[in-house]
Amino acid sequence: MSHSANFAAIDLGAESGRVILGTVSDSKLELSDLHRFPNGPVRTLDELHWDVLRLWSEMKQGVGMASQQGSGLRGIGIIDTWGVDFGLFARGNALLGNPFHYRDARTNGILDKAFGIVSRKEIFDYTGIQFMQFNSIFQLLAMKLANSPLLDAAETFLMMPDLFNFWFTGRKCCEFTNATTTQAYDPRAGGWAKGLIERLGIPLRVFPEIVPAGTVLGPVCKVVREEIGIDQVPVIAPATHDTGSAVAAVPAVGQTPWVFLSSGTWSLMGMEVSAPIINEKSLGYNFTNEGGVSGTFRFLKNIMGLWLVQESRRTWQKAGQEYSYAQLTEMAAAARPCLAVINPDDASFLPPGDMPARIVEFCRKTGQAAPSSPGEVVRVCLESLALTYRQTLERIEACTGKRAEVIHVVGGGTQNKQLCQWTADATGRTVVAGPIEATAAGNVVVQAVATGVLPDLPAARRLIRQSFDLATYQPRDTARWDEAYGDFLKIRA
């Protein structure tokens, strides 16, 4: 490749969305933000929804800006975001209502209802996906049990990235990496889990074609081109699940086994494997087999992540206490170590609200000293995450039979140097942190491979490794963490 190529990548995070320009050349991948906009759920009475039409407007504006850069665009990657959420379309391409946000309360208690129809073991055997109440299949079941008229009228189910891809191109399909997060996909059969879907009483007719990451969906449709003033640029499905894009950007080289840790609002820790691991052990550990790029699967565990700190910070802001994330991390480093441990995945920590009060309550209920300052609260969160990563690493290795020598941390959590060091300390493994912009980088390189600008995924990962600053953390003071881990296991039990 002798010339650079530009790609637009749309990235939706838990707090904001961005349209990013990615420039791929022989020696470097460069990313630049062109348009940033808020992305938060909207509450209507007692429901929580996506602000879907405003996001659509922001995306079009950003893509129009990207098309004005340099020599134009070789592709548009729409979009990478979290999984599970979706929209339903009726006859005539009408969107049925505002798509629900996964933190909406409509799926509270749904797992017990689902297991009363199909057992937990059978659902896992169908799908290989870990159990979370907001998985798409359970959102659909909640609609079914509530006799939702929207489900009756629906003709097509589209995950949120696929919804926006449809509006850009007119093509209805589901991209593989995100489709697997529905818990309605059968990874061994390679298609929708028809038996499970039918047994739960969900209409099979709504599920569309599934396409792999890197599929060229078609050009931007005429009406959108005319509205935003762009040429006939191809729209390419990246790994539309944000962790799928982030793992595509892991700067790993060689054949040494490694584990990825996509660190942000959620922490997703796992290993890239060639086939799903669906057995009693992975079921017992509640691991998941999500689709990856280039025919791989992401065998991983979903962990609550920095949501604990983010929501604590919002609580303090409402009380008039303004702290930056850097200040909170400094305060945590200075706070008393090993004061208490929490289970980051406790259900009480999932909804928005007063997170510090919930953490204090958890500590009291489990007979521990409770944190009394912001620094202590954040230290409890970060230490508990590091210990959760250790337990998760041990279980990954038990299921795969491979020892990982390196943990590759990617995403926004790489900026938390204290958490990266404590992860190395708690696990006793080398931690390599970076790139920060993993989801955007993964989005761009999958587009570059799809258009022939890069030859394959290993070449893309080499390019990423030489394009971004990486930080390496070696384990220290592991004896203290071994003692803390014993306490952690008692609490988790």
CB count within 10 Å of CB 295 equals 12
Residue 425 is a catalytic residue: no
Rounded to whole angstroms, how far apart are CA atoms 132 and 138?
A: 9
pLDDT at 245: 95
Catalytic residue of the set 51, 186, 242, 425: 242
**pLDDT per residue over 245-272, tens digit each?**
999 999 998 878 999 999 998 999 999 9
Average pLDDT value for residue range 148-177: 97
Rounded to whole angstroms, how far apart are CA atoms 136 and 157?
A: 10
Q: Judge residue 490's burial from the number of C-beta atoms within 10 Å of its C-beta, 0-12 exposed, 13-18 middle, 19 or more buried.
A: exposed
The residue behind tokens 């209502």 is: 97
Rounded to whole angstroms, how far apart are CA atoms 314 and 423?
A: 25
**pLDDT per residue over 219-247, tens digit each?**
999 999 999 999 999 999 999 999 999 99
**pLDDT per residue over 309-318, tens digit each?**
999 999 999 9
Of the candidates 43, 244, 48, 81, the one whose C-alpha atom is nearest the C-alpha of residue 160 is 81
Query: Is 40 a residue whose pLDDT tops 70?
Result: yes
Question: Is the pLDDT higher at 377 or at 1?
Answer: 377
Report H helices in 285-369. 307-318, 325-334, 355-365
The topology (CATH level 3) of 250-434+455-493 is Nucleotidyltransferase; domain 5 (3.30.420)
Rounded to whole angstroms, how far apart are CA atoms 291 and 215?
A: 14
Domain range 5-236, CATH class: alpha beta
Crossing angle of the two packed helices 374-400 and 325-334, in degrees rounded to 10: 90
> What are the start and end residues of each CATH 3.30.420.40 domain in the chain?
5-236, 250-434+455-493
Query: Is 88 a residue whose pLDDT tops 80?
Result: yes
**1 — pLDDT class (breaks 50, 70, 90):** very low
Average pLDDT value for residue range 271-293: 96
Average pLDDT value for residue range 187-193: 97
Quote the percentage of the chain above a pLDDT of 70: 100
